[in-house]
Chains A and B, each alone.
Chain A
């Protein structure tokens, strides 16, 4: 194998390892004897108290679980606060970690054997809500584009927004949507409406992206696929779109994504309600 192949392959390591190595800081481990002694002393006291409590407990009458009759102070308190006598206080109320990511839970769609999860469901943004919000902000958006040198005199915001399927974690965010903005049929901007991304601000807000050198070519692509439902996704950091003929294109330069399984129906697989857009 060529040496440069192995060198180049390092380019493909995960972002998380790059970030880990960037932020890793060695903390010198020195023994603080004062600290060790204080911990030991605290441990001795705890054990002593524990033994004392155990002795008191074993000398008290045993609780009668059949009748629930109060037999010591702790049970009396529970009864006073209207907890049923049979109720046992759970030892651990945290949800096991694996339950959170398991299939079939809230916000989860199951396609074949792969779980496709919806993310951002606590700030669910309906298309209508997002579009209404944009209409309220229409003038503000229009004049901010014009003041930035964009021809937006006849600005039209496409009424259908779409999110993106994220291949990284198999999720479709439902708390934001992208809306295409046209002027006389030319794509001039992309608006992203989102909810819950700014702490303390739960209502919708927008970002506008404009001036992309790829807009013209992308606009032609959309016109060529007028009336077709397109499926959007992020493959890592790359935005991509799948056409009904099962071809996947990068939106930035409209080249096809290679190395795909020839017989796999990507279009149907990634087609979820939130991440589709039909150019009209």
Chain B
């Protein structure tokens, strides 16, 4: 089944869309969640939540790259779960409850300044990625978007782990210089 056919199922509100998504993208989503959470149960829950979110988003959304679309959703849900878990460890189970309570009276929407900085950074990172050779770009995206460990990246790229670490450090330094050259304060 192609992505287009899959999206068509969502538009038709056909529940087979979810089982097909699970069949085609289940492992991919699970890998993203597991890289962040390192917990089977949590990862599975996040993946299931992401299916639900996709179901509610399409329509009206018509994703151009479905894998990236669902990948972003599962990544965000997993990061939220990770933050929640970290908060629980730090301050006991009351912290997430308190945060929820505060959330009712204060918007958690980022301020326009925050949003502006984030957008500027995202644009700069995209421009930087565009200039990189493909293997270096894949390395960087696998590390900082997919949260892959160095060993997995080394296997994927046919390199030694040490070479990946060195290459990543060099690319990070170049990214830092690039961001500074664009006037972004670090």
Contact = CB atoms under 8 A, between A and B. Distances in A.
Interface of A: 1, 5-22, 24-26, 28, 148, 168, 190, 192, 197, 207-214, 234, 236-239, 251-252, 258-259
B156 to A, nearest CB: 6
Interface string B131-152: 0001101100110111000000
Contact of A12 (B76, B112, B122, B134): B122
Contacts of B28: 22
A207 B12 contact: yes
B interface secondary structure, majority? helix
Contacts of A208: 11-12
B126 A252 contact: no
B141 A8 contact: no
Nearest to A164: B62
A17 B129 contact: yes
A1 B134 contact: no
B61 interface: yes
Interface residues of B, number: 51
Contact of B60 (A1, A14, A212): A212
A9 B118 contact: yes
B81 interface: no
B157 interface: yes
Given A214-B60, A237-B64, A9 B12 contact: no
Nearest to A212: B59
Given A17-B137, A197-B4, A237-B63, A9 B13 contact: no
A209 B62 contact: no
A210 B125 contact: no
A207 B5 CA distance: 11
A22 B71 contact: yes
Contacts of A8: 118
Q: Which of A7, A9, A21, A234 has the most chain B CB within a 10 Å cutoff?
A: A21
B68 interface: yes
6 A-B pairs with least C-beta separation? A12-B122, A9-B121, A15-B68, A21-B141, A15-B65, A26-B158
Contact of A20 (B61, B75, B114, B141): B141
A1 B179 CA distance: 12
Contacts of B67: 18-19, 22
Contact of A238 (B61, B125, B135, B158): B61
Contact of B12 (A6, A22, A209, A212): A209
Contacts of B134: 20, 24
A236 B61 CA distance: 9
Given A207-B11, A208-B12, A237-B62, A15 B69 contact: yes
A190 B59 CA distance: 10
A12 B69 contact: no
Contacts of A197: 4
Given A17-B137, A19-B67, A24 B12 contact: no
Contacts of B68: 15-16, 18-19, 22
Nearest to A21: B141
13 contacts: A9-B122, A11-B72, A12-B123, A22-B71, A22-B146, A207-B8, A207-B11, A207-B12, A209-B12, A212-B60, A234-B62, A237-B61, A237-B63
Nearest to B128: A13
A5 B118 contact: yes
Given A17-B129, A209-B12, A210-B13, A237 B69 contact: yes
Contacts of B12: 207-209
B48 to A, nearest CB: 19
B99 interface: no
